[in-house]
Amino acid sequence: MTRRYFGTDGIRGRTNSPPMTAAMAMQVGQAAGKRFLRDGHGSRVVIGKDTRLSGYMMESALTAGFTSVGMNVLQLGPMPTPAVAMLTRTLRADLGVMISASHNPYDDNGIKLFGPDGYKLSDDDETEIEALIDSEIALAAPAKIGRAKRIDDARGRYIHFAKATFPLSLRLDGLKVVVDCAHGAAYAVAPPALWELGAEVDAIGVAPDGFNINDHSGSTYPKALQLRVLETGADIGIALDGDADRLIVVDEKGQIVDGDQLMALIASRAAVMGTLKGGALVATVMSNLGLERWLAGRGIGLHRAGVGDRYVLEMMRARGCNIGGEQSGHLILADHSTTGDGLVAALQVLAALVAAGKPASEVLHLFDPLPQLLRSVRFTGAPLERDAVKAAIADGEARLDGNGRLLIRKSGTEPVIRVMAEGEDRALVKAVVDDICAAVVAA
């Protein structure tokens, strides 16, 4: 069934354009509130946001929607997405909401919803909410309108939670860490968490002004982090995205370490310690074949899910696995979190670095990835249905001839088609991607 509002990661779009308007946010609040409203007057929803200018508007509209149907609202202010998931559980809330467009620029925004267990809502729950959005919702009687209050110590609660995932036997003393918070939701929590564990912290991307979130900073633009690590002689660099559920690392030589390498490190370490569940790691169809081969050589399986951390998590739960993630840096460590958590994942990487007592370049680069190229092409209409595009895709598959992979998909968060090819021959991979992208543009 085609959904009108929800994509692969909640509702997302350009602010003040449908569906990302204040009016729609209020409708979402009313619909989700009605769906999760319990009998009595104790129902509550937790709302967090990142640092976008539009966050104030969306927070107010959602609060109006929730309170109008009788739900009490607990406002967290700027907080990472995983903090919202965690606090939804610990505050015994019936629903959690994160206002964020993740790694997108400031003029986009989005609404992500979590159930009382801290997990993102299922497709069925989102479909029910969509049906309620398009219906007339009965409002609460005047005496049963909800209340709203701010949770002033939310940041401290999350910092304590994140630090508790770091081994008690280890410290970060003597380690110089550059952390780039992308001027986003982690700007006031990631640096103090690292400092309290003993690291010498150099924080960048920690001056949000409503407009600069993800702007030439964070995990989607690691160049700033690479330069800072090299300039300061840091031991390691950590880059988060706007809502801090994504992690990219830079070693002491300025080399980028992506999610595939980080998953290999965390999963193999867990296997040695006997804490890897399900005997496998869950990744997506985007993860490199080099990762799969490296894991197989160590007796660790790899299950591939569809793109999107929610689908990774669904497969993790179905297969009984506790570690999963995406090449882009969404890492899910189910022993600690119910969703991707960039800070918690970073702490596990730092723990491995400290335990090894070796430079990051030696610890974090575990396998040589096969040549892989990913490009995004903006589109209108339905180019994947065009004969010329279908022919280009079929030709690309034939040229790879079983010695690589080709993946074509529409993004669930923006109007682009992603074209990815992977294989032993770098020149062939580039040619295949170039030809398919050209066909999409011409369609």
Q: Which long-range contacts (CB under 8 A, 24 or more apart) does 249-253 make?
A: 249/346, 249/349, 249/360, 249/364, 250/178, 250/222, 250/225, 250/226, 251/359, 251/360, 251/361, 251/364, 251/365, 252/359, 252/360, 252/361, 253/361
Residues 52-91 as b or e (16 or more Cβ within 10 Å = b): bebbebbbebbbbbbbbbbbbbbbbbbbbbbbbbbbbbeb
* Cβ-contact 184, 210 below 8 angstroms: no
Tell me the residue length of the chain: 443
Distance of CA 47 to CAs 69, 156, 158, 243, 386, Å?
16, 16, 14, 13, 43
Taking a C-beta distance cutoff of 8 angstroms, is the pair 369, 290 a contact? yes
**Closest to 187 measured CA to CA, from 89, 325, 49:** 49
Residue 102 catalytic?
A: yes
Residue among 371, 375, 369, 368 nearest 420 (CA): 375
Local structure of 381: helix, strand or coil: coil
Q: Which neighbouring-strand residues pair with 331?
A: 325
Closest CA to 289 of 312, 264, 306, 252: 264
Question: Cis ω on the peptide bond leading into residue 19 (within 30° of 0)?
Answer: yes
H-run or E-run covering 68:
helix 55-68
Residues 6 or more apart whose CB falls under 8 angstroms from that of 401 comprise none
**Distance separating alpha carbons of residues 85 and 411, to the nearest angstrom:** 24
Q: Are 432 and 399 in contact (CB under 8 A)?
A: yes
Contact criterion met (CB below 8 Å) for 52 and 101: yes
Distance CA 89, CA 96 (A): 9
User: Starting at the edge strand that comes first in sequence, how are the strands of the sheet with 11-14 ordered?
Assistant: 11-14, 108-114, 95-99, 44-49, 72-78, 148-150
For residue 13, the SS3 value is: strand
**Distance, CA of 271 to CA of 98 (rounded, Å):** 33
Per DSSP, the three-state class of 403 is coil
Calculate helix-pair angle for 154-164, 81-90, nearest 10 degrees.
100
Query: Among 102, 217, 219, 328, which one carries the catalytic annotation?
Result: 102
Known catalytic residues are: 102
